[in-house]
Chains A and B, each alone.
Chain A
Amino acid sequence: MAGDAILTVRGLVKRFAGLLATDNVDLDLRAGEIHALIGPNGAGKSTLIAQICGTLRPDAGSVRLRGESIDAMDAAARAARGIGRTFQIVRLIDDATVTQNLLVALHVRNGRIWQIFDGPGSRADLSREAAERLAAARLDGIAKARVADLSHGYRKQLELVIARAMKPAVLLLDEPMAGLGQAESTEMIRTLSALRAEVPMLLVEHDMDAVFNLADRISVLVYGRVIATGTVAEIRDNPEVRRAYLGEEDI
């Protein structure tokens, strides 16, 4: 089921005041897989995501997307090249409606960002696509709601719809379950699972139920180092992982 590596991370090193936040990290994200990245708080997961997205410059190492180096690109250029992401703390255009948020993303995707005097009529095609995408995600009921007024769960879902609409090559999800209720979590797991065929995902998550439910492979990050990568079963049985990390939790 899993195919070629789409995203390859090799030897990423990032130091903060002498402390190694990521220590020579290697990671592959293959076509068709959900690759979970787990580890205790402060293990360097967010730092790693930031380095892949380009919001943080690594001290050493490289990131390749479909074999092509993206090290020299800034965050926007990487995103334009196909690195999609969601944020741990949802980032949306708060003072705009759900539809408007999605429409802005579609404009950017289609490069229709410099039309200074076009009217709403000229974007009927994008409006239609936005409506379809919202309906597919069962968000059409809140299409006209202001994003700032939405519940946390809806905001997380909307961010995912937007990230998906950009048709990214890979999707980096920074704690998509955080703060969700039971029902919302179940919904999110179902959504992500169905999304697997569309885009490979790197999933940073603390909710172990979700991780074991979704992940095809898991990498365990401890003190900035990947101590193990493998299938769910392999990770469960790995003694080093149990000692370093999972031992703290009852699984």
Chain B
Amino acid sequence: MTDLAHPSPADEARQGLRLPTVVFGAVLLAGLIALPFAADAVGMNSLISLGSRVLIYAIAVASLNIALGFGGLVSFGHAAFFGIGAYVVAMLSNHADWGTPFLGFIPGTNSLILCLLAAMLSAGVAAAIIGALSLRTGGIQFIMITLAFGQMVYFFFTSLSAYGGDDGLMMSGANAFFGLNLRNRTNFYYLCLTISVAGFWLYWMFMRSSFAAVLDGVRQSPDRMAALGLAPTRHRLVAFILSGIGTGLAGGLLANLLRFASPDTLNWNTSGLLMIMLILGGVGTLWGPFLGALVILVLEDVFGAWTENWPLVLGIVLLLVVLNTHGGLVALIRRLTGGRL
């Protein structure tokens, strides 16, 4: 039961587009489009990669929000889907290099589209299995079980010595996409931006959907939904699978950005990090996932440059945020702007 003070998730979406939201979105998009030029102008190329990372994590956090914010499913195992996405992409493109089929029958490929689709499919299947088992329980067990399954996936991938084991799996280059050079950070950034905008639009559609409205009912009042004749578990499972698919996509993009599938993506700390971004940005909100990813990754960049104790800073910030605020950054901004955003 999550009675975390959401700024009423479905509400803002159901009301449709209001002018401040449109203006905010347009300004944000213009800023994101302009970022590579600005970075060039000030000679800080690393900003472009940071921008790509923010967009990728925003996709993952928005996906987590589908399970956590709308479904009320506090998953501490989303690193599994993130990592599966990354590993599937790296494995397929390595097999393309080696000229051997994956698992003996799936041909390797270096096509970005195929790799990302495979990443989403694999993460979706994993989410279906993990979700079906974990949803047999609820509350605190659900948290611990998703955490444990996440660890299981971690151990699985790090035990595959053919795919790098503990060291992770390098890729010889980024995937191919219509002759576009994705090693170029600006190109890759715009690719991420395009996918993010499309994903954001789907996410917004999702928030306004019938499914989300029913899911919101399942989260808040499962007894009421059962009395209406709705079996809550199926809805939760579908939400969990959708969430896994989106997170897998983000993982696949991250592997392309880093040209490396890292065991760190599977670590439980990554699950925690995605949750931190979500709660900081605002659970169940439209802009929260992006804002949360932006703030955390920028802070990490800034603090990481002059102290190696970034995790300590992150821990303290998180503790203060959880103990003292309700609703995260979006709620804060809404308070500051008098609810116009």
Contacts and interface: CB of A to CB of B under 8 A. Distances in A.
Report A-B touching, CB under 8 Å.
yes
Interface of A: 53, 55, 74-81, 84-85, 87, 91-96, 100-101, 103-105, 107-109, 112-120, 122-123, 162-163, 166
A163 B224 CA distance: 10
Nearest to A86: B227
Nearest to A159: B224
B328 to A, nearest CB: 16
B160 interface: no
B229 to A, nearest CB: 3
Given A91-B224, A100-B14, A107-B213, A119 B230 contact: no
Given A108-B230, A120-B14, A115 B211 contact: yes
A160 to B, nearest CB: 12
B217 A115 contact: no
A85 B229 CA distance: 11
Nearest to B13: A120
Contact of A113 (B202, B205, B208, B211): B211
A163 B202 CA distance: 33
Interface string B207-241: 01111111011001101111111111001001000
15 contacts: A76-B231, A78-B229, A91-B224, A92-B224, A96-B11, A100-B10, A103-B213, A114-B210, A117-B209, A118-B209, A118-B210, A119-B209, A120-B16, A122-B210, A163-B227
Given A53-B227, A116-B209, A120-B208, A107 B8 contact: no
B244 to A, nearest CB: 14
Contacts of B14: 100, 120
A95 B6 contact: yes
- B: interface residue count bin: 20 to 34
B206 interface: yes
Q: Lowest 4 CB-CB distances: which A-B pairs, in order? A: A80-B229, A79-B229, A76-B231, A91-B224
Interface string B169-209: 00000000000000000000000000000000010011011
Contacts of A75: 226-227
A96 B8 contact: yes
A91 B224 CA distance: 6
A55 B216 CA distance: 22
A113 B216 contact: no
Given A85-B227, A117-B209, A123-B210, 9 more contacts: A53-B227, A79-B226, A79-B230, A107-B210, A108-B230, A112-B210, A114-B238, A119-B205, A166-B229
Interface string B9-24: 0110010100000000
A95 B8 contact: yes
Given A93-B224, A100-B14, A120-B16, A115 B209 contact: yes
A96 B216 CA distance: 9
Contacts of B10: 96, 100
